[in-house]
Chains A and B, each alone.
Chain A
């Protein structure tokens, strides 16, 4: 569902969705979830802008496709492991995502990359035209709810990136 024309002839946006992915009980795997929470607390503690939704999707697996369905644009934030310095923020394309080792070991082997590939193959029109992937380099996936300090300190910057994207998208539809 892309932007649609309302009665006054203006383009109305579809839903803009911010999706944090990760296992909240496994250390830095929760980086994506935490980043989305920090974004909400920092920029929209009162209420989210109209047309913007968040999902804290712990281990969505293939359900990620349904979460993306009906959005005009989306950001997926997840932990990744690429060997970079922990806390490094990666702006990824879908192609690049496949070369990154998991973050969320996700539901029965269905990570974000494989899920998106399936979506592109089966129902490409259900995926948003604009999909931004943000990876946060994880340092440890040990059991517990604590993030490593490097990942923790990267969260405000990730929140800033999300806000930049959301403002720009909203502005685009308003003009």
Chain B
């Protein structure tokens, strides 16, 4: 194969962009991951807005992980305003996050990545041959969206979250009514993990630096310190000192590196590897049952890590839904003051960092949003370099598919990192 490869439109990935693999005498000469949209749009868009509008605006960035945007932003703004939320609010936010993990992981596992691993062009062709599998996916996704709607008021973009808590408590009956379906989801998620273990994953492992939130007392999703598989543990307050974003000329997205210029990997594999012992017991047992143990170094196996997290999230959701008993006001009264705050949570795709500066009127004067996909860009490129020498020997179409499969395994969400991806291989 002597032509460069250009993949102009990557399917099943959010957004717009392009990947070009340039070859010289049959050898990889350059790899360009190109993103079209202007960086930092949303940060600019937030400038001058009232702080309480931020959770709703940032939630509109993505149809798949709006909760993550809300959770990181409200925590950052609560820190800036010196607000401490009640334990009941924290638990309801955890339950809301479970809802997002269920709908997002069900979507990615079955409908975005699985078609690649079982040799189907799309979820539609998979659905034609394996309707029961896709029905399971849709039912799992639905329970996630139903829970999201019950807590957040809408099934796609929740509107109930506010700085200080929730605008109103969802009714106990409405939450409890979801328990039977969540219990079904729990069983279906175990079946999902067993099925995921039977898929054929490409043989590709790298020595990654994994980075994820970490807590002593729980599998960190809502909040935590930042832990690296190289042993470094930092406070979220120091994130920008240790994880540096630089603008890459060919791409509108910023690329992140560690302070010593290394690439790093955030997302389900990172969480699974760093926090395995903190998973709910049933999730750990499911992992052991399918012979899975950390560390996983194959990016395609992010799918199995998601399946284990699905078990974890369903189990936690059942417990939180059964225990839900709202007490007191659903939000804290806020006294506006100027300040700066940081919020970090684990979006389904990985660590999501927000920092805001608010002025004395409560208006946003500065916003920094570092989404997981932007943090993984440099790692994705490094993986493409590692994969390319063997792949470019394949026929054009096959080669393009191989690159697409790798990138999709990351579940990139470019509408948050800006927009994604058209792939081009110039021979």
Interface residues of A (CB under 8 A from B): 23-25, 57-63, 65-67, 105-110, 114, 117-118, 121-123, 143-144
Contact = CB atoms under 8 A, between A and B. Distances in A.
A23 B63 CA distance: 9
Contact of A58 (B111, B124, B128, B156): B156
A2 to B, nearest CB: 21
A59 B128 contact: no
Contacts of B38: 143
A63 B156 contact: yes
A118 B123 contact: yes
A122 B64 contact: no
Contact of A108 (B14, B45, B134, B156): B14
A117 B11 CA distance: 16
7 contacts: A59-B64, A60-B155, A60-B156, A63-B145, A65-B138, A109-B14, A143-B45
Interface of B: 11-16, 37-38, 41-42, 45, 57, 60-64, 103, 107-108, 111-112, 122-124, 127-128, 131, 134-135, 138, 141-142, 145-146, 155-157, 413, 415, 419
Contacts of A67: 155
Contact of A122 (B13, B15, B41, B127): B127
A57 B157 CA distance: 8
A59 B123 CA distance: 19
A62 B107 contact: yes
B351 to A, nearest CB: 20
Contacts of B135: 122-123
Contacts of A61: 63-64, 107, 156
Given A25-B42, A61-B107, A66-B146, 19 more contacts: A24-B60, A25-B61, A57-B156, A58-B60, A61-B64, A63-B63, A63-B103, A63-B155, A66-B155, A67-B155, A105-B14, A105-B415, A107-B64, A108-B108, A109-B14, A121-B124, A123-B135, A143-B37, A144-B45
A107 B14 contact: yes
A23 B16 contact: no
A127 to B, nearest CB: 13
A144 B45 CA distance: 8
B127 A105 contact: no
A114 B124 contact: yes
A111 to B, nearest CB: 11
A114 B12 CA distance: 11
Nearest to B157: A58
A62 B108 CA distance: 12
Nearest to A117: B124
Contacts of A108: 12-14, 64, 107-108, 112, 413
B138 A122 contact: yes
Contacts of B61: 25
Contact of B16 (A24, A105, A114, A144): A105
A23 B64 contact: no
Given A66-B155, A108-B413, A109-B14, A58 B134 contact: no
B138 A106 contact: no
A3 B157 CA distance: 30
Given A105-B415, A108-B112, A118 B134 contact: yes
B63 A107 contact: yes
A38 B138 CA distance: 32
Nearest to B127: A121
A158 B211 CA distance: 49
B203 to A, nearest CB: 26
A77 to B, nearest CB: 16
Contacts of B16: 105
A74 to B, nearest CB: 15
A144 B38 CA distance: 12
Contacts of B63: 58-61, 63, 106-107
Contacts of B14: 105, 107-109
Contacts of B60: 23-25, 58
A62 B141 contact: yes
A124 to B, nearest CB: 11
Contacts of B145: 63, 66
The 9 closest A-B pairs by CB, nearest first: A59-B63, A107-B63, A109-B12, A108-B14, A143-B41, A121-B127, A60-B156, A63-B145, A107-B64
Given A59-B156, A61-B107, A121-B124, A105 B15 contact: yes
A114 B62 CA distance: 18
B134 to A, nearest CB: 6
A25 B402 CA distance: 33
Nearest to A108: B14
Contacts of A109: 11-14, 112
A63 B16 CA distance: 22
A122 B134 contact: yes
Contacts of B156: 57-61, 63
A62 B155 contact: no
Contacts of B107: 61-62, 107-108
Contact of A123 (B111, B123, B138): B138
Contacts of A63: 63, 103, 141, 145, 155-156
A24 B127 CA distance: 31
Contacts of B123: 118
B296 to A, nearest CB: 23
Contacts of A114: 122, 124
A117 B134 CA distance: 13
B360 to A, nearest CB: 26
Nearest to B135: A122
B307 to A, nearest CB: 18
